[in-house]
Structure 1
Amino acid sequence: MKNVTLVLGASLKEVRYSNIAIRRLRSKEIPVVAVGFRTGAVADVKIETEKIQFQNIETVTLYLNPKRQVEYYHYIINLKPRRVIFNPGTENFEFIKLLKENGIESEVACTLVLLSTNQYYKM
């Protein structure tokens, strides 16, 4: 798989934005992997609970509040994504600075809006 999106903070609850994002990404045939706090599946995507060193991560889309993100800083940086999307409520300027220092782009945006306006790959 190429140009994979990692949904970090994935939820099995259908009303959660991370769950909706997984389904929308898959409906557009975008390869997705997911890490959350409970194992299970959303669409055809298995939710992992471990920090797996996935390959070919192009985008990480965050659904974790800033305090929860801290334990994932090094994990995300080591995945070497092209960009990290900070969805509403996940904005974290400390992490944005750290990403920039490591040559990783960041966007404060909504994955669902980007998908619905066909801007997901135009960023």
Structure 2
Amino acid sequence: MIQILVPDANDSLIELELDGMTVFLRLSWNSEAQQWVLSIENAYNELVVAGIAVVPDTRLLADYRHLPVPPGELVALAPDRRDTISRSALPSGEVALLYVNAAEVVDGKV
């Protein structure tokens, strides 16, 4: 499991290698909806999926297994069981964006 450090910006692009797969995660703050939104691009900067709402304590990739997304799971872990993630919570680490490696995901559960 790795923690993904989110820059303190309304829009950022982070290059990562997840389970041997190079991906770009774009995290964008939607000020109207007051939520973070995730997009994933492949190593060639081709869009794989866009518009994933970053919801606390929810498997973010579960509904997208038919697409070439990393085999593990992304989760925004909120230790205080909050319902929403504020603009500052991801960059500050108050809510941790984690990637759980495929080997650590058991029976589709994180």
Q: Same fold (TM over 0.5)?
A: no
Indicate the structure with greater strand content.
Answer: 2
Task: Please report the TM-score for the alignment, with normalisation by the length of structure 2.
Answer: 0.28
Pick 1 or 2: higher relative contact order, CA cutoff 8 A, min separation 6: 2
Indicate the structure with greater helix content.
Answer: 1
